[in-house]
């Protein structure tokens, strides 16, 4: 797959220009890749490798982009093998600067972005969104992050710490090893330069040799004794966030809230039923899917071009009208299915035969 994204993009463009009547839009796009009234785009201005598997991609967005708040994310589209794929990425650049995303290669789209993106490539964009943002009024903060969950928090730290002499931020970041820790050197430099930032790294495969344990108080009390009095933010893998949520529910009152950002949906274990045959009517495709496979994944698997965005039930970019059948919400186990109902395909699975209007 390596090389495919960058090679295919210009070839497809030429091929489509040769085979499709040109519209004024297309001439504009030839002169300036950011000039499109149909789809917001950005041009890649810098690509910075961060770790062996993570890369920061800086881009200059076209007209229609809204400046991001620190901590927000955006849908990013990229063409792979001729199909436009959408995923969500937190904006790691500070507010007030051109945006950047920091992507860790873990699957299909992220690996293509990390390995193949080059300066001058065009990304498809949606405007920044999300509520994982700094509090309106300054107060002591505790940031708990693990792995790529550091990205939205990095935007917050870069925005807040150099600009606010009264900033008081404790950042606890867990990574497997020092070399896998995102933004490692920059964070230590910021902490040296600004007394308002304390950075505590936790290495699960090096000096600590185990996971940061948030199921009880011991680790947290040792790392940040006044943690209860701080407004807390957490972003990382599901079990890390689940443990933090339980701890705050048990131990902390509402005056010191925990705000979390998830990169993947919380699915109810064992929600899947018997599944069924999914018919994608306009695409003339059919596939048998197990009861725990989202309709979105099943469609993509058999080559249907499915709309998507966050892939976790928050952005509603994946809505498709149901023609017939019943689906199961994988977050709650609830069965539903009115004819014509708009189905969030990223978090619903077939419960028996399903017909979708795509």
Report helix, strand or coil for 299: helix
Whichever of 75 and 230 has its CB closer to ligand FAD, that residue is: 75
CA gap 245, 327 in Å, rounded: 29
DSSP state of 320: E
Cβ at position 120, least distance to ligand FES in Å: 28
Residues 148/104, Cβ–Cβ less than 8 Å: yes
Q: Taking the CB of residue 146, how many other CB atoms lie within 10 A of it?
A: 24
Residues 108-127 that bind ligand FAD (CB under 6 A): 108-111
Specify the stretch interacting with ligand FAD by CB under 6 A; choose among 83-91, 159-167, 202-210, 277-285.
83-91
Whichever of 76 and 224 has its CB closer to ligand FES, that residue is: 76
Q: Taking the CB of residue 353, how many other CB atoms lie within 10 A of it?
A: 15
Specify the stretch interacting with ligand FAD by CB under 6 A; choose among 7-15, 39-47, 270-278, 310-318.
310-318
Cβ at position 263, least distance to ligand FES in Å: 12
Binding-site partner at residue 134 among ligand FES, ligand FAD, none, CB < 5 to 8 Å by type:
none
Report helix, strand or coil for 107: coil
Cβ at position 252, least distance to ligand FAD in Å: 24
Contact code string over 295-334 relative to ligand FES, x by CB under 6 A: -------------xxxx-xxxxxx----------------
Whichever of 237 and 337 has its CB closer to ligand FAD, that residue is: 237
Contact code string over 217-246 relative to ligand FAD, x by CB under 6 A: --------------------x---------
Whichever of 65 and 73 has its CB closer to ligand FES, that residue is: 73
Binding-site partner at residue 117 among ligand FES, ligand FAD, none, CB < 5 to 8 Å by type:
none
Whichever of 168 and 261 has its CB closer to ligand FAD, that residue is: 261
Cβ at position 120, least distance to ligand FAD in Å: 22
Q: Does 191 bind ligand FAD (CB under 6 A)?
A: no
CA gap 338, 350 in Å, rounded: 14
Binding-site partner at residue 346 among ligand FAD, ligand FES, none, CB < 5 to 8 Å by type:
ligand FES
CA gap 272, 50 in Å, rounded: 38
CA gap 42, 122 in Å, rounded: 6
Work out which of 122, 278, 293, 310 binds ligand FAD, going by CB under 6 A.
Answer: 310
Please name the residues in contact with 167: beta carbons below 8 A apart, sequence gap of 6 or more. 138, 141, 160, 161, 194, 196, 197
Binding-site partner at residue 151 among ligand FAD, ligand FES, none, CB < 5 to 8 Å by type:
ligand FAD
Total residues interacting with ligand FES, rule: CB under 6 A: 12
CA gap 241, 239 in Å, rounded: 5
CA gap 173, 184 in Å, rounded: 10
CA gap 276, 293 in Å, rounded: 10
Kind and range of the H or E element at 111?
A: helix 108-116
Q: Does 151 bind ligand FAD (CB under 6 A)?
A: yes
Burial pattern 270-308, b for ≥16 Cβ within 10 A else e, equals ebbbebbebbbeeeebebebebbbbbbebbbeeebebbb
Whichever of 101 and 304 has its CB closer to ligand FAD, that residue is: 101
Distances (CA, A) of 136 to 133, 139, 160, 276: 9, 9, 12, 48
Q: Catalog residues that contact ligand FES under the rule CB under 6 A.
A: 308-311, 313-318, 344, 346
Q: Catalog residues that contact ligand FAD under the rule CB under 6 A.
A: 73, 87-90, 101-104, 106-111, 147-148, 151, 237, 263-264, 310-312
């Amino acid at each position: 797959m390596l090389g495919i994204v960058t090679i295919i993009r210009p070839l497809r463009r030429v091929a489509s220009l040769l085979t499709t009547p040109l519209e004024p839009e297309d001439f504009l796009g030839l002169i300036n890749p950011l000039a499109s009234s149909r789809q917001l785009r950005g041009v890649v201005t810098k690509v910075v490798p961060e770790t062996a598997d993570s890369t920061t991609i800086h881009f200059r967005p076209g007209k229609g982009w809204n400046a991001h708040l620190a901590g927000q994310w955006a849908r990013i589209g990229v063409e792979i093998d001729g199909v436009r794929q959408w995923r969500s990425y937190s904006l790691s650049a500070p507010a007030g600067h051109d945006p950047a995303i920091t992507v860790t290669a873990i699957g299909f789209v992220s690996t293509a972005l990390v390995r193949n993106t080059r300066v001058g490539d065009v990304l498809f964009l949606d405007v920044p969104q999300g509520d994982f943002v700094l509090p309106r009024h300054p107060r002591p903060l505790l940031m708990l992050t693990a792995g790529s969950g550091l990205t939205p928090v990095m935007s917050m730290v870069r925005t807040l710490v150099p600009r606010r002499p009264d900033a008081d931020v404790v950042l606890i970041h867990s990574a497997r090893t020092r070399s896998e820790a995102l933004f490692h050197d920059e964070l230590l430099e910021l902490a040296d330069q600004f007394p308002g930032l304390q950075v505590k790294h936790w290495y699960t495969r090096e000096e600590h040799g185990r996971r940061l344990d948030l199921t009880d108080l011991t680790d947290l009390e040792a790392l940040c004794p006044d943690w209860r009095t701080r407004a807390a933010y957490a972003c990382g893998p599901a079990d890390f966030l689940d443990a933090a949520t339980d701890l705050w529910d048990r131990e902390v009152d509402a005056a010191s809230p925990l705000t979390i950002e998830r990169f993947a949906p919380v699915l109810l274990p064992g929600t899947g039923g018997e599944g069924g045959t999914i018919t994608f009517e306009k695409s003339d495709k059919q596939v048998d899917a197990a009861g725990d496979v989202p309709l979105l994944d099943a469609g993509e698997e058999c080559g249907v071009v499915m709309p998507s965005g966050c892939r976790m039930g928050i952005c509603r970019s994946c809505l498709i009208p149901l023609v017939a059948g019943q689906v199961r919400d994988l977050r709650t186990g609830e069965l539903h299915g009115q004819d014509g109902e708009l189905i969030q395909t990223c978090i619903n699975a077939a419960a028996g035969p399903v017909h979708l209007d795509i």
